[in-house]
């Protein structure tokens, strides 16, 4: 019932912004926040493509839309009130790493960095800290962008996530093309045998398919092979 009321409300607002002089753009941006393509926006809210184009055009001019390019240079639109504030969020940095819209993530409350561009190393640690299956899946593409392994180790060690990074790296090597080799020093430090206790990346979830990786790093992997199909397409 709530979804029906919300859909009617958004359709009314879209109708209003098609008329000059409305001030409801901020309300619309708040209602539509998330990641969309023109097709999904039109299909989800029952509007035609021309209206979807107009909505995106107006919201972009007001600073509420950031454009991401997916597979085949397809445009994907991130709508958020916080886009108008400037800066770049960790979520945007995570999404930069993958061309596949199906593995991109959205956040209702993204964390923005101002005055500098966050590194892929920071974005990877941030993604793991979200303790979310969706973020973990998206994070695997970041390994293709990692170049400063020393920085990644320092950041991961600070958050007690070194073993988690090593375990997910091993998963990424199975499904992501052109992942650089992790330095042996990182692997050796991550494999320190002093700690025998297993860690969860996402509490209560473990893998049926990656038991060997779980045992090696003493980390429960919240993924199965079927969860990674989008990365291989």
Q: E strands along 31-114, which residues?
A: 34-36, 65-69, 75-79, 88-89, 112-113
Which residues face 66 on adjacent strands?
Answer: 78
Q: Is 20 exposed, middle or buried (CB count within 10 Å of its CB: 0-12, 13-18, 19+)?
A: exposed
Q: How many CA atoms lie within 13 A of 233 on its CB side?
A: 13
Q: For residues 126 and 149, is the Cβ–Cβ distance under 8 A?
A: no
Cβ contact 121:146 at 8 Å: yes
Q: How many residues does the chain have?
A: 233
Q: Which fold has domain 1-86?
A: Arc Repressor Mutant, subunit A (1.10.10)
Give pLDDT, residue 10: 62
Strand partners, 199: 219
Q: pLDDT under 50 in the chain at which residues?
A: 1-3, 21-22
CA–CA gap between residue 31 and residue 87 (Å, rounded): 21
Q: How far apart are CA 137 and CA 44, in angstroms?
A: 24
Q: Which sign does the torsion angle of CA 73, 77, 82, 85 carry?
A: positive
Structure tokens at 4: 């029906």
Tokens 């007001």 locate to 62
Q: Domain extents for the chain? A: 1-86, 89-233
Q: Are 190 and 162 in contact (CB under 8 A)?
A: yes
pLDDT for position 2: 42
d(CA 145, CA 123): 11
Q: What local confidence, expressed as pLDDT, does residue 232 receive? A: 65
């Amino acid at each position: 019932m709530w979804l029906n009321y919300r859909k009617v409300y958004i359709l009314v607002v879209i109708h209003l912004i098609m008329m000059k002089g409305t001030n409801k753009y901020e309300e619309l941006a708040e209602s539509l926040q998330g990641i969309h393509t023109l097709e999904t926006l039109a299909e989800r809210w029952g509007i035609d493509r021309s209206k979807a184009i107009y909505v995106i055009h107006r919201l972009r001019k007001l600073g509420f839309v950031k454009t991401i390019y997916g597979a085949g240079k397809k445009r994907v639109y991130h709508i958020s009130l916080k886009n108008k504030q400037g800066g770049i969020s960790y979520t945007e940095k995570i999404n930069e790493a993958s061309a596949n819209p199906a593995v991109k993530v959205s956040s209702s409350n993204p964390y923005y960095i101002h005055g500098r561009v966050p590194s892929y190393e920071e974005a990877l640690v941030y993604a793991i800290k979200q303790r979310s299956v969706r973020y973990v899946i998206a994070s695997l593409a970041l390994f293709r962008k990692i170049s400063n392994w020393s920085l990644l180790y320092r950041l991961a060690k600070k958050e007690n996530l070194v073993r988690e990074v090593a375990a997910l790296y091993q998963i990424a090597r199975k499904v992501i093309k052109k992942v650089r080799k992790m330095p042996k020093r990182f692997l050796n430090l991550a494999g320190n045998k002093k700690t025998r206790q297993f860690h969860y990346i996402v509490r209560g979830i473990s893998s049926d398919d990656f038991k060997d990786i779980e045992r090696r790093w003493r980390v429960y992997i919240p993924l199965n092979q079927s969860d990674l199909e989008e990365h291989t397409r």
